[in-house]
Amino acid sequence: MHRTHLRFLTVTCGLLLPWGCNQPTPVVQEPNEIAEPVEIAADPAAPERAPEITPPPPAAAAELPAAAPEEAVTDNDTPAAIPQTTDSSSATKDADEAIALTAAAKNGKSTAVEETTAVTEAPPATEDAVAETPSDSAQATDTASSPAVTKSPLDTEIDNRWKSWPKPSAVILFTGEQHGYIEPCGCTGLENQKGGLARRHTLIKEIEALGWNVVPMDAGNQVRRYGQQAGIKFQTTVSSLRTLGYRAVGFGPDDLRLDVGLLLSEAASDPDSALQFVSANVTLLDPELLPATRVIVSGGKRIGVTSILDPKTIGQPLGDEIIVDPVAPAVKKSIAQMAKENCDYKVLMYYGGNSAEEDINALGAQLDGIDLVVIANEFGEPTYKPQKVRDSANTEMILTGHKAMYACLIALYDDGSPSRYVRIPLTSALKDSPAMLQSLAVYQDHLKNLGLSGLGLNPIPHASGSKFVGSEKCGECHTTAMAIWEATPHAHATESIVHPPNDRGDIARHFDPECLSCHVTGWNPQGYYPYLSGYLSLESTPHMVANGCENCHGPGSQHVAAEEGDITASDDLLEKLRNAMRLPLDQARERCMDCHDLDNSPDFHKDGAFEKYWEQVKHVGKD
């Protein structure tokens, strides 16, 4: 596998990148005295790690209608429109920001950004960091294979003691592992779910309102699938991150499964762009297209940042256009490059697997020179305070948590005071940013305009060979069961995404496959695609609205044909087809979990939940 070196690169989406990355540009020097790296102070009363809980048993069930995975929007004074695959050199730039590039160095390349906002000297900081108080009402997270983690309380009130910190020179805000969740889906109530770009934007604006310099960074993995919808979601996210003022973004393994042309159109942006993707070990077509490190000067602080993706997280082979180099050499080069840049504070954003913390600890002294390692992966939540990297001099690490449900703040000071840390859950206490809601509306409009075929979703036959007939047909014989079903939220599942019953109700989601899969009849709930004879639209398949009988019992065309005499069926065949439609109670739990998963229905995974919810939908066969 070889690396290509191009000065003019035309990618598959038609993007022309005519800029030469080898042109050196002087770094704007900051007159402030360079401070020594500071140590993060944390509340001594806070637990060393978040207390552990045992993952919920798999034999739990679900609550009433579950919907598709969470998605997110963004919020700003200016809507973040869905970008097309065009040159992103027109990205938002702050008027008070000077941006310069350093020459590509032998051991890596770096860009420097200087924010010239005047900052008054912060008073001495105390050594207590604000830590969230653990709660017994913690929400369960991911699959049973996940490491035991503590779930933070879902209280709508956020502990805002961090707002009383002495004014820092700069605040770095870290997120990561969005995993496609650009907003909380709202299936179990927005007040019960964390995360979303709209809340994140509101938090950033609240920090800025304090007069603090905010430097947002993201450790990567914006999407969780591949295909057209994932690509649109990636574009939406990057556009939103620009609106939110992000300065550095890394890659996750799911990002690299997207079309390389689309990746380049978003990641290999104009070097003068305020936001830049950085990576010390990921190459997209040409090593000159992405900086390995970046230097951001904010409030007199020279903040160096790089990102590294653990190659072990790449589950399937990538194309020849993408190279992911080993971790240790990339770490060494990054540290050397940031040392040349005289950085005051050096950050390594690391995307790893379920052993990420141990992998970082194994690097030990090789991380000397890095002040903070920010770990993103699919498991866990942010710790209540930073952890020291084993065998390192002063390197510490934090976790971003899964699905970008938290923002982690690091406050830096000029006077030698320890830096401060807090993790902030993005709960409903943070109101939605109108601009990000507008961005989400544009995203949904894009899905609507493309349609299912434009998204590459062509219906496939059901494995049973039967077709879906619709719940009304079932109700002709199963009248009592039908009456019970009509009184449940399942019967209104489609209506709940056409007119969502929450503060985001003006944004319809019935063109979104990730919502449709559990809110209509005749879709694969975990694959997000329709079956032949399943729901296609309100107009063409009105009999397939709602989460109907056949989503649990299977498509009923053969059963109906036999019962109505449309086919000749012996008594044995009739009984066989009837049995095929029956769903034993012990199997019903697993069928419910297809939609009522941990993402959308965490309460369904508590002990006794299935038995509780079954009573609300309990029904038997024919009258």
The tokens describing 453, both together, are 């075929």
324 forms beta bridges with 282
Structure tokens at 349: 């954003």
Q: What is the dihedral of CA 220, 226, 232, 236, to 10 degrees?
A: -10
Mean pLDDT in residue range 408-421: 94
Whether 447 shows a pLDDT value over 90: the answer reads yes
Q: Output b/e per residue, 388-417; b: 16+ Cβ within 10 A.
A: ebbebebbbbbbbbbbbbbbbbbbbbbeeb
Look at residue 169 and tell me whether its pLDDT is greater than 60.
yes
Query: Strands, DSSP E only, in 274-394?
Result: 276-277, 282-284, 293-298, 301-309, 322-324, 345-351, 372-376, 387-388
559, 580 Cβ separation under 8 angstroms = yes
Cβ atoms of 291 and 158 within 8 Å: the answer is no
Which of 68-72, 205-209, 417-421 is modeled with the greatest confidence?
205-209
Question: pLDDT digit string (tens) for 356-384?
Answer: 999 999 999 999 999 999 999 988 889 89
**Residue 621: band (very low, low, confident or very high) from pLDDT cuts 50, 70, 90:** confident
Given pLDDT bands bounded at 50, 70 and 90, which one contains residue 438? very high
Residue 253 has pLDDT above 80, yes or no: yes
Three-class DSSP labels, 532-561: CCCCCCCCCCHHHECCCHHHHHCCCHHHHH
Look-up: residue for tokens 């779910």? Answer: 193
Q: What residue segments make up the domains of the chain, in order of their start? A: 457-617
**Statement: residue 62 has pLDDT above 50:** no
Query: DSSP label at 499?
Result: S
**164-174 burial code (b ≥16 CB/10 A, e <16):** ebebbbbbbbb
Which H or E element spans position 530? strand 529-530
3-state secondary structure of 481: helix
> Which residue has tokens 């007199």?
300
Q: What is the pLDDT of residue 3?
A: 37
Residue 69 has pLDDT above 70, yes or no: no
pLDDT at 113 over 60: no
Residue linked to tokens 């990618």: 11
Q: What is the pLDDT of residue 269?
A: 65
Whether 605 contacts 60, CB under 8 Å: yes
User: Average model confidence (pLDDT) for the chain?
Assistant: 80
Q: Return the pLDDT at 8.
A: 33
According to the model, what pLDDT value does residue 317 have? Answer: 85
pLDDT by residue (tens digit) across 487-537? 999 999 999 999 988 778 789 999 999 999 999 999 999 999 999 999 999
Strands 396-399, 372-376: pairing is parallel
